[in-house]
Each structure stands twice: as C-alpha cells, then as structure tokens.
Structure 1
Amino acid sequence: MTTTTDIVAKLWSLCHVLRDDGVTYNEYVTELTFLLFLKMLEETGKESRLPKGYRWAALAKREGLDQLDYYKRLLLDLGKPEVKDGLVRAIFTDAQTRLRKPTNLKALTSSIDQLDWFSAREEGLGTLYEGLLEKNASDKKSGAGQYFTPRPLIDCIVRLMKPHVGETVQDPAAGTAGFIVAADRYIKDRTDDLYKLPEQQVFFQRHHAFNGAELVPDTHRLCMMNLLLHGIEGGVELADTLSPDGERLSKADLILTNPPFGTKKGGGRPTRSDFSITADTSNKQLAFVEHVVRALKAGGRAAVVVPDNVLFEDNTGRDLRTWLMDLCSLHTILRLPTGIFYAQGVKTNVLFFQRGKTDKANTKTVWVYDLRANMPAFGKTRPLTAADFAEFEKAYGSNPAGSAKRKDQGEEGRWRGFTRDQIKARNDNLDISWLRDTEVEAEEQLTEPEDIAAAIIGHLKAALEEIETLSEELESPSNKDAAMPEAAE
C-alpha cells in the first residue's frame, strides 16, 4: 500500500465518526476540503495566501466550543469579497460547516495533523486529494459516482487527444476537474514539469491554458482545490454553461468533457442567445454538444462523453447530429461498457470530432469501436482499467484528429468504418452496433449486492428520463396546438 493510499484510507475512515453528527458522505468531502486546504498551505509554505489570523496552527491548537466557533468564523470570513486571493475566495464562498459537535472537529484536526505529510508531499498532494475524490465516487453510499468520470477513461481520452503546450483546453462541465488535471499532467510529463519551457509559456500553462465551468457550488470547491494542488491557478468558473455564462467562455483548441445527463430542472431551456439547434429542448446533453461545437476554434478537437440517446433521438437530436457532421469531422465513436459510471444501466459513448475550417460536409467516415458487446460486467469486483482501452487506442491510431490509417475489422471485429452516405441512409442515426449484445448476460454475472442495486437503480433512472423526455414532447407548444380543437364559429 502506498503512502497516498494509506492516507486516503485513514481520512475516509473518519467519515464514520462524522455520520453521528448528521454529515453525509459528500458533505464530509467538502468539510475535509476546507480543513485540508488550510493544512496543505501550511505544509507547502503558502500560508501568505490567507489573511493573518486564519492559519492552520491557530485552528488546530484550539479546543472545544472555542475551536468550533473559530472554525465557523474562519469559513465565513475567508469567503468575503475583501479576501484578495481569488482562489481562496472561490473555495470558501458561502462555506459553512455541517459539524455540530466540537469533539468531531477536534477528531478531524488531530487526525489530519498526525498524517505522514512528508511522504504525502513526496508523492504529491494533488495525488492525495484525487485519491480522496475517487474514494468518494467509488463508494456507492456517497452517490457521487454518477458525476465522476473513471480515471482510466479520462487518461485514455487524453492520450488520444494529445494536449500540448500553448493550447487552450476547456471543460464546460468540469466537475472535480478530472479532465483538466489529466491534460495538465500529460503536458508536464513531456516538459519536465514545465521546467523545459520559457518563463512566458510556464505562466500561460499555469494561469491561462485551462478554462471551464461548474454549476454546483460544492463540486466547484472540490474542483478549485484539485486545480490548486496541481499547480493550476483557477480557470474554472462557478457558472451555468447553458446560460449566457457559457457564451463568455473563451474559444478552445481542445474540449474534453463529460456533461451531465438528463433534463434541466422544471423543463427549463438553455438561455443562450447563440444556440439555434437546441434552444427549445430541456435535454442537457444535446445542449452541451451544441456548446462544444460552438466553443471550438477552427481546427479544434473535442472528446465528449454522451448517453446513447444523443446517437438516436429524433427531431432535435437528429438535427444536432446532422449539424455536427456538417461543421465537424465526426471521425470516431467509442461505445463504452455499461457499469463504468457506478450505475449499470447507464449506456454511454465518447464522440471524437474536429471542427472544420468551413461549415459544410466535414464528416467523411465515422469509425465506431464497440467496447460494450461481449464485455465483462464492470463493478466493484471488476473495475475498469487502462488495459481495457489498449486495443481501442491501437485502432484509433497516433493522430489526435483521427486521420491515421485505419483498417475495418469486419462484422466479427469491434472496429468498423461507415461512410457519410451510409449514415445518411440511416437518417443520421449513429447508434450503430453489429456484434451480439450480451449486456443481459453480463449483468446476470454481478455478485456484489452494491453492483446489483446499482444496476436496478440505473435502469430505473434511464426509464424515468425516457418518461420525462416523452412528457416534454407531449407538452411542447407544437403538440398542444395540434391537439387543440378548432374554435366554434
């Protein structure tokens, strides 16, 4: 067991104590973020970012109710507009503790102080924090898994997209910054942690290379903490990409994202003035795809995780696909296995495309890799690994724009190419499969109660979303007009 793994296990074990104080799993990670932020600034010699009187040592030495009162005041004050450091403000804006018992706060501060911080610094504090986020996501009781993109999938996508120095990388649904951190790590691994770069390029990489948005305040805190610990100064706004906020995001050379699935609450539509394809739908994943296309620079490339309905949905869905294939070269679709998002019923894909220099007829051939059919049941006993993507990466080739030479494996293989004319004959339906689907048999192989429960929940959620979509269509103005009887003369 590595030091990082050991520390993550110790930190996670404290959540059992806090449950007696009414703290949920996700709230626990947020609570830890506040405390770890203070401690890590002390450990890295960066406490000057904090106003005087708000340091870890001042909190840790206190006892009882005095400590809890000081902690509450600290959270309130560090989020105030007069705090000069923008990243500190972002982490503590509207922050409040869920702790009610002074003994629990003392247990947290004491345990954090006793961790092996020397070894943690050696292995990387960012690695430690990512381990904590992944632990939260993999524990199904936390409910965070549906928002957490598996790291092996992120790393696969980044290896194929090959981000490089000087590019602007965006994630419009940043979550806890998994894609941004992985892209940053990919670049640092090839530049000796940026030491090979001129000072001007180093500044760009740390301050301007990455941008994005995250809608949920608590998730945004985790995101900003993750960026800080990886040497990235901000870049992700607390904002709704499907509102005018999204129009203000700068154009990107590369977009990597796993946007939220489902419909906007209350059936709300995007409020973007630049949206034309998805302006009248509450389907978030369709709207995010339109954002990605519009946010790419000419020649920019993207990899976007989407649910199956984006590939086959009629009306707005079909219009979006036709528009996408005109403006972009949609060169690759990866059909992902079920169960990798800690919910067995969720069926997802990755769309890989490049924005064209013109707005017409950019898609020539769409290559589809089926990693879903005849695959094992993924879950607690069979997690997703980098090895699961090895054959796909080999088939994809070395060119990030998907223009490497490719060979169709035929009806018995997982990798096939379909011309634009063939797709047009399918009414631009991209839900293409040819291998026998053994998903039912795979789910029958599940043995862990948590995996079985996740499969049931996943199917129920998918069914509920289909009902919501149908209800939305029935309530649309065009359908209401059609159903309205003619007025009597």
Structure 2
Amino acid sequence: MSNNEIVQKLWNLCDVLRDDGINYSDYVTELVLLLFIKMEYENAQSGVMLGHKLPEGARWPDIEKLSGVNLLNHYRATLLDLSQSTDPLISAIYADAQTRLKEPRHLEQLIKSIDGIDWYSAQRDGLGDLYEGLLEKNASETKSGAGQYFTPRPLIDCIVALINPQAGETVQDPAAGTAGFLIAADAWIKSKTDNYYDLSEKQREFQRNKAFIGMELVPGTRRLALMNCLLHGMEGDAEGVIHLGNTLGNAGSSLPKSDIILSNPPFGTAKGGGGPTRDDFTHSTSNKQLAFVQHIYRHLKDGGRAAVVLPDNVLFEAGVGADIRRDLMDKCNLHTILRLPTGIFYAQGVKTNVLFFDKVSQHATGSTQEVRVYDLRANMPRFGKRTPLTRAHFADFEQCYGQPPKNHENETSRYRSFSREWIRERADSLDIAWLKDDNAEDAADLPEPAVLAQEAMGELEGALAELQAILKELGEVEE
C-alpha cells in the first residue's frame, strides 16, 4: 500500500467518529491521540526507538486486548496518565487530552481498523511522512478549518531548497503550525548528510535537540506539531521542538536569534488577546503580520537568512507598514519577492507572497540596493483539488533565484528587478506588478464575500488602534 492509500484509510475512520457525535474540527485530534500510541509501538517493533517511550499500561498491546466499557475506561485513564507523565515531552503531547468517544464499540472499531492497516508499508516510507500526509489531508478538507495551520508542501520544499539550511545552523519558525517548515528543513539536511551519518555524534545530538525551534499559540495545533516532530526524529529541548506561547507577546522575545527563519504567519486580524503585546519592537502595530516581520528580522543573526509568507496588505499598507518595510530594507538585504498564485491557501481569495531576505546588522542602513520580483500569480491556473499545486510550478523561479534578470526592464517577463530608489519613490510599497493578468476580471477568481469583509474589518481595526494610540500620546484618553 502507498502512503496515500493508508492516509485515505485513516481518514475514512472519521466516519466512525462522526457516528459518535464528534465534530468535524475534532476528527484529527481524536484520531491522532490513539494513532500516536500505535505508531510508537510500530517504531519499537521495528527497532526505531523514539527516545520517549510510553509507560507500561499505556502501550498499544495494553489497549487492544481490552473491550467494552473496560476498554473505554482504560483509554480515558491512559490519556490522563500520559498528560501527567514524568517525561515532559510526552506530557506536553497529551496535555489536557481527553476522548470525546462515548460508545465503547466505536473505540473498538477504531482499534481494529488501525490494526488492519499495512504497517509494514507504512514503516518502509516512514511513519513521520504518513502522519504528515494525514495532516495534509485534514488541511485540504475546508470544513476542518485546519488549512490555516498548513503550508502547501510544494511551496515549503521550494523555499527550503533555496534557503539551503546546513548542519550546525539553527532554524526557527515563530508561527510553527504543524511544523512543516522545520520538518522539511530537517529532511533537507538529512538528505545532504546521509541521514546525519556523515556527522559526528556531537553534531547529530545538536541536530536532534538544538537545531530546530518553533512557537505555536494554539495548544491543539502544538500537540500535532510535537507528534509530527517526534515521529520525524526531532526531539528538541525539554519542551520539545515546538514551544507553546504567543510569539507576539513576552514568550516571543525569549526565542533565540537564529541562522534561518522560515515561517507562514497566520492571516487575519488579532482576536481574543492574540494581538501584539511586545514592548521590544521599534514600531508599534496591531497588524499581526507586520509584527511577525519585525520579530523575524530582529531574531535573525547577522548574516542569517529568512523566507516568510505574507499577504499583499503587508507590502502596501501605509503609515507604520511603510516604516516597518523601510526598517527591514535597512537592516536586511531584501533581495527577492515571489508573488504567489491565488487559491493555494485555506482562505482562497487571499493574495500572498514570499519575501526572501538576509540580515546584515541590527544597526545597518541601506542594506537593500535592489529587489528582484518573480510574478507567479498573473495568468496562472486557479489551483485547488482539480489543479493541484506541484513543485514543477516553481521550477522556473528556482532557476531564476539568485540570478540577475537577463533584461530587468522586459515588461513581458515574469522576473524583473527594481532599484531601491525606484521603490522609495513609490512610498516604499513592495506591491509590485507589471504583467497584465487575463484572469483578473474573472469573477471566479474574486475573493469570497466573507474574505473581503474580513480584510475590510482588519484594515478598520488597525486604523482604529493607531488612532487610539495617537490620542493616548496626546493625552486625550486615559491609559
């Protein structure tokens, strides 16, 4: 069986969960709580030790031998025991875990179906990749709402190949989601070092425990990320590779400076206390993406490199947006912008870009002399289930990356360069487009009304917050 076939079999188990009244958004969380126990057992059977063994009584054989009410009660107690494990990583993975299953027969059915999977084939391709495939399947189902935590794998693989992480470098994702960027960076380095066998034991220990770090705000998403990392052999420190916290709050300021930062910060506006509260940023803003940009270039080491996925509004927003872009181009060499096609993320109408930049110095000025822009948006197909995004769509961009455009004034080319002076004359806007997009007038490509409304609300909330800040400075309103 291929990994895709196994993933589909696992996804089909969601029918069992639905029969027990479990909501669509909880399918994967419910499934992986049980699935991780099975994967840990399969790894142990094949001699692949995770370094974080589940305790006796909480292993797969302890669960599958039971039935009826005894099984459901034991499973509930097992989840509680794992959440209180003396192993900090296991306790983090199972923090606050509890099953919503009410019928013992449904749990029995899940266990029997999971046991019936061809685990030999799954082991051959790697359980970590199987788990990643399940997360991707969940993200592709728009009803699950999980797409916001998942960056398309072809885009991740393209970015990682161009950034080219090396053994010994530290890699950070301050908006980790399910850890796709970090896992891809680890896989890239493994492919260049014979699965780390070319490294010394000290170097291997560094790669397993210190090379990668991320932060995730949502506890349930962090759980998925920790499982994903552990199944890929990435252990991290006592808290795991992915720390729980708000990067735009005090927790984010404690993240270390890194050689590489790869990230796709969450789209949308600050809600429920998730907005920026950092006091170490030069420019105060309520725009989460602009705040993440500040974190990223502040937390890059001098000489470090970054790639970050950002919506169009970050490129053209005036006021503090222009100030932050100017600061970025002073401290870093913003050398490349990739304009991404629409329809590749969960919010279909959102237009996005990848910014590639290298840190010069926190005190530097004038570090960016020219910006090269590759337009992969104009006259591209509408991506989705019928037309999936593949790595091949990035082939020409990857060939162009790092090279000066052959004729930077050619208005029919997808790849052009623009001087820093030209950008400055446009109020430091980086929303640069020149190709006529024949699809632009197609109503099918317009954002959904809900997306348009959300964008409008975000702009209004941002403007209101800035006006409030001005009034406070003038002493017109109380703190």
Q: Bin the TM-score by the shorter chain.
A: over 0.9
Corresponding position: 1:210 with 2:212: yes
The residue number in structure 1 matching 2:278 is: 272
Residues 484, 270 of structure 1: CA spacing in aligned structure 2 closer, same or farther, 3 A cutoff?
Answer: closer
Cα distance in structure 2, aligned partners of 1:420 and 1:472: 27
| Cα distance, 1:269 vs structure 2 | 4.4
Cα distance in structure 1, aligned partners of 2:125 and 2:149: 26
**1:41 maps to amino acid:** E
The residue number in structure 1 matching 2:301 is: 297
The residue number in structure 2 matching 1:182 is: 184
* 1:44 counterpart SS class: helix
**2:330 maps to amino acid:** D
Corresponding position: 1:348 with 2:339: no
Cα distance in structure 2, aligned partners of 1:36 and 1:268: 31
**2:400 maps to amino acid:** A
Aligned with residue 375 of structure 1, among 357, 380, 390: 380
The residue number in structure 2 matching 1:414 is: 414
Cα distance in structure 1, aligned partners of 2:207 and 2:472: 53
So what's the TM-score if we normalise by structure 2?
0.93
- Please show how residues 330-341 of structure 1 align to structure 2 within 5 Å: 330-341=334-345
Residues 288, 471 of structure 1: CA spacing in aligned structure 2 closer, same or farther, 3 A cutoff?
Answer: closer
* 2:229 counterpart SS class: helix
Residues 373, 38 of structure 1: CA spacing in aligned structure 2 closer, same or farther, 3 A cutoff?
Answer: same
Cα distance in structure 1, aligned partners of 2:148 and 2:452: 13
* 1:115 counterpart SS class: coil
- Post-superposition Cα deviations, 1:3-32, rounded to whole Å, max 9, x if no partner, equal 211111111011122112222233111122
- Post-superposition Cα deviations, 1:91-128, rounded to whole Å, max 9, x if no partner, equal 10111112121111111111111111111111110111
The residue number in structure 1 matching 2:26 is: 27
- Please show how residues 83-162 of structure 1 align to structure 2 within 5 Å: 83-162=85-164
* 2:385 counterpart SS class: coil
Unpaired runs of 5+ in structure 1? 398-403, 447-454
**1:250 maps to amino acid:** P
The residue number in structure 1 matching 2:322 is: 318
- Please show how residues 326-475 of structure 1 align to structure 2 within 5 Å: 326-357=330-361, 358-397=363-402, 404-409=403-408, 410-441=410-441, 444=444, 457=448, 459-474=449-464
Q: Is the 8 A contact 2:405 2:416 kept in 1?
A: no
* 1:304 counterpart SS class: strand
**2:8 maps to amino acid:** A
- Post-superposition Cα deviations, 1:255-288, rounded to whole Å, max 9, x if no partner, equal 00000112211576422231121x3x22111110
Cα distance in structure 2, aligned partners of 1:226 and 1:353: 28
* 1:265 counterpart SS class: coil
Which is further off, 133-142 or 330-339? 133-142
- Please show how residues 147-296 of structure 1 align to structure 2 within 5 Å: 147-233=149-235, 234-266=240-272, 269-277=275-283, 279=284, 281-296=285-300
Cα distance in structure 2, aligned partners of 1:69 and 1:371: 54
**1:86 maps to amino acid:** P
| Cα distance, 1:84 vs structure 2 | 2.6
Query: Structure 1 vs Structure 2: percent identity of aligned residues?
Result: 57
**1:63 maps to amino acid:** S
* 2:57 counterpart SS class: coil
- Post-superposition Cα deviations, 1:57-89, rounded to whole Å, max 9, x if no partner, equal 111111111111111111111111xx2322211
- Post-superposition Cα deviations, 1:199-255, rounded to whole Å, max 9, x if no partner, equal 110110111000010111111011011101110002210111111111111110000
| Cα distance, 1:443 vs structure 2 | 5.6
Q: Is the 8 A contact 1:473 1:479 kept in 2?
A: no
Q: Is the 8 A contact 1:31 1:97 kept in 2?
A: yes
* 2:435 counterpart SS class: coil
Cα distance in structure 2, aligned partners of 1:388 and 1:266: 37
Cα distance in structure 2, aligned partners of 1:203 and 1:61: 37
| Cα distance, 1:438 vs structure 2 | 3.2
**2:186 maps to amino acid:** D
**1:55 maps to amino acid:** R
* 2:176 counterpart SS class: coil
* 1:383 counterpart SS class: coil
| Cα distance, 1:456 vs structure 2 | 5.3
Q: Is the 8 A contact 2:139 2:147 kept in 1?
A: yes
Residues 268, 72 of structure 1: CA spacing in aligned structure 2 closer, same or farther, 3 A cutoff?
Answer: closer
Corresponding position: 1:477 with 2:468: yes
Corresponding position: 1:49 with 2:53: yes
Q: Is the 8 A contact 1:75 1:96 kept in 2?
A: yes
**2:314 maps to amino acid:** V
| Cα distance, 1:36 vs structure 2 | 1.5
Cα distance in structure 2, aligned partners of 1:21 and 1:407: 61
Residues 267, 463 of structure 1: CA spacing in aligned structure 2 closer, same or farther, 3 A cutoff?
Answer: farther
Cα distance in structure 1, aligned partners of 2:473 and 2:211: 50
Q: Is the 8 A contact 1:268 1:282 kept in 2?
A: no
| Cα distance, 1:481 vs structure 2 | 7.6
Cα distance in structure 1, aligned partners of 2:64 and 2:242: 30
The residue number in structure 2 matching 1:8 is: 7
Cα distance in structure 2, aligned partners of 1:86 and 1:478: 41
Q: Is the 8 A contact 1:27 1:98 kept in 2?
A: no
So what's the TM-score if we normalise by structure 1?
0.91
**2:22 maps to amino acid:** V
* 1:372 counterpart SS class: coil
- Post-superposition Cα deviations, 1:376-404, rounded to whole Å, max 9, x if no partner, equal 1111100101111011111113xxxxxx4
Unpaired runs of 5+ in structure 2? none
